[in-house]
Structure 1
Amino acid sequence: LTALPPSQSCAADTAYDADGLRQFLLARGTVPVIPNNPTRRRIHPFDRSVYKRRNLVERMFCRLKDWRRIATRYDKLARNFMAAVELAATIIWWV
């Protein structure tokens, strides 16, 4: 994450609920939107509405992976792979 520019928020799954990651994100000025692990003793607040929007992105990737060519990374060249992703995304949006 250090190579990426800081963002406003970072939505992650419960598996990324670590104090080190939370401190790193807060030091960059990024608000962590990570639900608490059930075994956590110190509960951290998070915005549930922002976390629910993360599901939209996950569903989009799931729909793209329904296309075997994209899921298996069939194309060797990056431009051909990107063209296949764009074509699949267009068809998914259209249907």
Structure 2
Amino acid sequence: MTARKLSISVPPEVEETIKAAAEEEGKPVSTWLAEAAIEKARAATLRADARAAASELVAEYETEHGKLPEESRQRARQFLLEAGLLDDESWRAAG
């Protein structure tokens, strides 16, 4: 695999955290950062897929039974927040 150089800027405390974590795992900082970026991207994809699946389920339910009550929507929102599948920003953006 061909590697490309990137330049990033981080606060000093983040730099120390990164270096310590890479050292603990016995990896170069660049390898550790690349793996961390891949993990973050995969997690974002999984969250997006989960939100899409949830939206599809709600749409199917509402097609059959009518609009989901607001109380149920709020309970679902709380569950998704607690499960880490939703953050307040994405909820506000959805309207």
Decide: shared fold, TM above 0.5.
Answer: no
Structure of greater Rg? 2
Structure having the larger proportion of residues in strand: 1
Superposition TM-score tier, normalisation by shorter sequence: 0.3 to 0.5
Please identify which structure carries the higher helix content: 2
